Amino acid sequence: MKTLDDLLAEGVSGRTVLVRSDLNVPLDGSRITDDGRIRASVPTLQKLREAGARVVVTAHLGRPKGGPDPKFSLAPVAGRLGELLGAEVTLADHGEEAQAAVGALADGGVVLLENIRFDPRETSKNDDERAALAHELAALTGANGAFVSDGFGVVHRKQASVYDVAQDLPAYAGGLVLTEVEVLRRLTESPERPYAVVLGGSKVSDKLAVIEALLPKVDALLVGGGMCFTFLAAQGYGVGDSLLEGDQIDTCRTLLETGKIVLPSDVVVADDFSADAKTQTVSADAIPDGWKGLDIGPDSVAAFADVLGRAATVFWNGPMGVFELAPFAEGTRGVAQAIVDSGAYSVVGGGDSAAAVRALGLPEDGFSHISTGGGASLEYLEGKSLPGIAVLEK
């Protein structure tokens, strides 16, 4: 796999370089609520700028349906990216506007193309449609162009700006993608033991493949979040109105037979899904009818912390509760703090877990690595081939 360093060694001054970044950040209207992915994209872009490249960035935001939608515009992202780079970032619509903006670039300049998913060919299942869009993107770079794949959060997608364009241009792995792959390879090939995994989130079905892939490799798998209630039901416990996947109960019962899964011993329950609901902490085997579990309890946090304190390697993906609501944030906060305190080699698997670290004010440098790609991280750990990585290895 060729890397950004290889490209810089070839020389990029005066060349146009297309970079696929992951700038898919959460917005409240036009306000960015978590700029972590934008900040993670800056080092690769800055290296290219400083080496004299003319940088064209392509990225997506959200899931627009079949065409342009103002609420998914990358305009707020262009502004924040410009602040972080200390340079003006021009936002350009695809087509003639993009061609003019790229043609006007000076060495070290940056153009951000508007949301690539405004073009339905980006996510098309039709190879020819994706290839046509990739040809248009590649054409923007001219005869001496190059492509840098730096959006780890999308490398598990076979999409035009991720996969197909890497077949049209000399392709290189950006620093972010390279770091992510190295970290995940360490988790899969040679984790220092004991190796503990913490999984949360809402549904067992969403994490089933990664649970089955990890169980033979880990020493302990700690389960929280909404998914824990299906496991508790598999033990024969009533779970009230908690999230429950009835069709997964038998599967969970089989998984529990490994003896490696650690479940909450107490949970915080509420009579409503709201920040001002009535709450109580109850034993995991005594959830009242009509109440729903929305976080793990303090005894569970202490038990999880005991396991994590003995671990040498920790991977965490998924919050322990509805951390966005204050009454149900302490489980996630407590477990995250336990990971920091453990001193283990610790990897946060992107998505809601990374958002929780920042939203709860936890020290980002307390973790060895915070991934920018939740889905991509999980698929790598499942052992799946990631199209955006595979194409760079050809």
Active-site residues: which are they? 37, 203, 351, 375
Cα–Cα distance for residue pair 110/16, rounded to 1 Å: 10
Is 61 a known ligand-binding residue? yes
Q: Annotation-wise, does 85 bind a ligand?
A: no
63 in a known ligand binding site? yes
* 23 carries a ligand binding annotation: yes
Q: Is 352 annotated as a binding residue?
A: yes
Contact 381, 188 (CB under 8 A): yes
Residue among 188, 221, 192 at smallest CA distance from 379 = 188
Q: Are 152 and 43 in contact (CB under 8 A)?
A: no
Give me the DSSP letters along 275-310.
TTS-EEEEETT-PPTT-EEEEE-HHHHHHHHHHHHT
Q: Is 24 a known ligand-binding residue? A: yes
Task: Determine if residue 351 is labeled as part of a ligand binding site.
Answer: yes
SS3 273: coil
Say whether 62 counts as a known binding-site residue. Answer: yes
3-state SS string over 361-390?
CCCHHHCCEECCCHHHHHHHHHCCCCHHHH
Look-up of token digits 């991509």: 376
On whether 39 is known to bind a ligand per the annotation, the reply is no
- Annotated binding residue at 22? yes
Does 117 show up as a binding residue in the annotation? yes
| Longest pairwise C-alpha distance within the chain | 68
Q: Is 121 annotated to bind ligand?
A: no
| Cβ partners under 8 Å of residue 353, min gap 6 | 200, 316, 317, 318, 319, 374
Token representation of residue 173: 């792995």
289 CB-contact burial (10 Å; exposed 0-12 / middle 13-18 / buried 19+): exposed
Query: Is there a binding annotation on residue 20?
Result: no
Q: Which residues are annotated as part of the binding site?
A: 22-24, 37, 60-63, 117, 157, 207, 293, 324, 350-353
Q: Which residues are annotated as part of the binding site for substrate?
A: 22-24, 37, 60-63, 117, 157
Q: Which residues are annotated as part of the binding site for (2R)-3-phosphoglycerate?
A: 37, 117, 157
Q: Which residues are annotated as part of the binding site for ATP?
A: 207, 293, 324, 350-353
